[in-house]
Amino acid sequence: MRLIIGADPAGAASIAAGEIARACQAAVAARGHAVIAVSGGETPWLMLRDLRAVTLPWGAIHIVQVDERCAARGDPQRNLTRLEEILVREGPLPAANLWSMPVDDTDRITAAADYQAALEARFGRPLRFDLVQLGLGTDGHTASLVPDDPVLDVTDRDVAITAPYQGLPRMTLTYPVLARARERLWLATGASKAARLAELLSGTGKTPAIRVARDHTTVIADTASAPSPVLIG
């Protein structure tokens, strides 16, 4: 695990965009396409705005959702709403290369399985992302792997449904597929994340984020969130 610190959220987002661009270029050169899973949030939106300005083989780049709230299409709570705006309508990503989670299906468990199957059919089984970008909640959750949810114990599926969290159930990637990714990229900014980020870096604590695989991992933080002194376990 390595740590990179930007001066502020915008600086951290710019660094993260550079890391994703590097991973995309390497994946396309090695395998002909790149498969990147991204999380939502204000700093990730800055990151994606920076990323869309990079000259990349966008036709060979595929963006997958790390998680999504189970709300109607177009709902402002949906991560997809911003992803479509930033990367497709205002950016260079082909619409067919944005793999939206089917959270508005009535049978969400079947929809989660179908989503995994569709990704496997296109990119191979077992599913292996070139890079997964993760966020860090103030309660230590990442993706929608939230404290005390049964989804934390899912080991036989790459995509699962959570219990309601902050008012809505979620569809989320699970630990096995996060561990299988070629790279993991954490993006955490703001003083409210400092305590959880210190745990993540040291590998201590019991929050869901601590259980994510630590090899081939980069953590990007800003000066407000990074602990001082920095200890990486």
Q: What percent of the chain has pLDDT over 90?
A: 90
Averaged over 153-176, what is the pLDDT? 95
Averaged over 167-195, what is the pLDDT? 96
Whether 220 has a pLDDT exceeding 70, the answer reads yes
CATH number of 2-222: 3.40.50.1360
**pLDDT digit string, tens, across residues 13-64:** 999 999 999 999 999 999 999 999 999 999 999 999 999 999 999 999 999 9
What string of H, E and C letters represents the secondary structure of the chain?
Answer: CEEEEECCHHHHHHHHHHHHHHHHHHHHHHHCCEEEEECCCHHHHHHHHHHHCCCCCHHHEEEEECEEECCCCCCCCCHHHHHHHHHHHCCCCCHHHEECCCCCCCCHHHHHHHHHHHHHHHHCCCCCCCEEEECCCCCCCECCECCCCHHHHCCCCCEEECCCECCECEEEECHHHHHHCCCEEEEECCHHHHHHHHHHHHCCCCCHHHHCCCCCEEEEEECCCCCCCCCCC
Whether 194 has a pLDDT exceeding 90, the answer reads yes
pLDDT of residue 229: 58
pLDDT of residue 227: 73
The ranges assigned to domains in the chain are 2-222
pLDDT of residue 19: 98
Is the overall model pTM greater than 0.85, yes or no? yes
pLDDT of residue 232: 62
**pLDDT digit string, tens, across residues 98-131:** 999 999 888 999 999 999 999 999 999 999 999 9
